[in-house]
Amino acid sequence: MAIKFSGEFEVKRKPEEVYDFLTDPNRFAQLLPDFQNLTVQDATHFTLKLNVGISYIKGSANVKMELVQAERPSRAQYRGQGAVAGGNVTIIAGFDLAPVSNGTKVNWQGEAQIFGGLASVAGGLLEPLGKKQIQKLIDGLQAALA
């Protein structure tokens, strides 16, 4: 099961500042919904521990993330993979930054692929829940960059 997401927002910061924030997991990780823990391996690899759950399937997920594209100050893209309660997930998330008259326009997009029992049991609940969690993250990013 694939969940796609995208959108845009503007902030009153320079593209370099926004890029630096979005490429530093120590700064943005705690904004993730249900964040538990962060372990940074190096400049481009880190592991997130998150609470996950739908209905009676609950637990923690360890998601190994990699910054696979880093073009300061215009583009950052992450790829991640992890085990979640009852399945596996693969995540791709990218940010394209463009200067505007009073700051930076952030275009964001991504996709989560969910495999295994979680996808078959939760079915139609995953997409609306995933989009709700992504919107919480984007709202948090906007507030942190304001």
Q: In Å, what is the CA distance from 71 to each residue of 19, 79, 122? A: 9, 15, 37
Sketch the domain layout of the chain as residue ranges: 2-145
Higher per-residue pLDDT: 6 or 2: 6
pLDDT one-digit tens code per residue, 76-127: 999 999 887 667 888 999 999 999 999 999 999 999 887 776 555 555 666 6
pTM for this one? 0.88
**Predicted pLDDT of residue 55:** 59
**Predicted pLDDT of residue 57:** 62
pLDDT one-digit tens code per residue, 14-65: 999 999 999 999 999 999 888 999 999 999 999 999 887 665 566 778 899 9
**CATH, range 2-145:** 3.30.530.20
Which of the four pLDDT bands, split at 50, 70 and 90, describes residue 13?
A: very high
